[in-house]
Amino acid sequence: MNLEKLSINTATFKNLSLRHVVDLCVKNNIKAIGPWRDKIHEVGLKEASRIINASGLQVSGLCRGGFFVADNNHNWDDNKIAIEEAAELNAGCLVIVSGGMLANNKNLSQTHNYIADGLAKMTELGNEMGVPIALEPLHPMYAADRCSINSLKHAIDICEQIGEGIGVAIDAYHVWWDPDVDAQIKRAGELGKIYGYHVCDWLAPTTDMLLDRGLMGDGVIDLKSMTQKIESTGHNGFTEVEIFSKKLWQLPPDEMMEKVIERFKNEV
């Protein structure tokens, strides 16, 4: 993939500060960054904004809002702040992970409805503040306690129902296994609802449900095919490399960045 499209999600360099990741990006002539909010909070929003603006990097997306079931009010106190932060950082979108199931409630439909209500509220505020809301379906292995929206189809259904201002972030790691994924990418494209595209790889075997993601090309995902499907919808945004990996986090940052760039060029 064309390097002009590369955005570095800060989760790929979990042990580095925002400033360190920004410097690494600039040094490597990268055009965009996808920060996590903890990295923003470490230095404070104003300083984070200053660091990023001074660097010339664009913010492809801010990770993340959501986790609606954290309280009885759609986690609104935190989600409101997340939208404000995304606005301040001029982020391309605010990425949403829905959170898991309602406490003491095994009725998944009720969780889905509660999440959809929270998303509608966020989209309303996002529209006011100029922040696109990007709903990211997560792999079904997170359905219980992290994200109960687990397929691209379901995410698009919700976005379509809500309307303007909300779309999907498509993370290859979460959706690659789904025989319906190509059709849903096409559908999201036709609706103008592809707000983000994230890549890494699924390792076989995977030894940890959270922190064993792979560098593009080291796993089983046909990333080139997925990229082609996404680009053929006319989607023209950044592609974030987001790799949660206890193993890769141990590499020297320069070495890791070199690998990321090489793989992005040749495997995505």
Residue 98 and residue 138: Cα distance in Å, rounded? 9
Gap between the Cα atoms of 65 and 76, Å rounded:
10
CA proximity to 199, closest of 219, 180, 178: 219
Residue (29 or 107) nearer to a copy of itself, CB: 107
Question: Among 29, 50, 220, 262, which residue sits at the site for a copy of itself (rule: CB under 8 A)?
Answer: 220
Nearer to a copy of itself, 140 or 189 (CB): 140
Strand positions, DSSP E, 62-219? 62-66, 94-97, 133-135, 166-171, 194-199
Q: Which of residues 118-147 bind a copy of itself (CB under 8 A)?
A: 139-141, 143-145
Q: Is 46 in the site for a copy of itself (CB under 8 A)?
A: no
Quick check: 42 binds a copy of itself (CB under 8 A)? no
- 183 near a copy of itself (CB under 8 A): no
Shortest distance in whole angstroms from residue 139 CB to a copy of itself: 6
Using CB under 8 A as the binding rule, whether residue 225 contacts a copy of itself is answered as yes
By the rule CB under 8 A, 148 interacts with a copy of itself: yes
7, 58, 60, 151: which one binds a copy of itself (CB under 8 A):
151
d(C-alpha 6, C-alpha 173), whole Å: 17
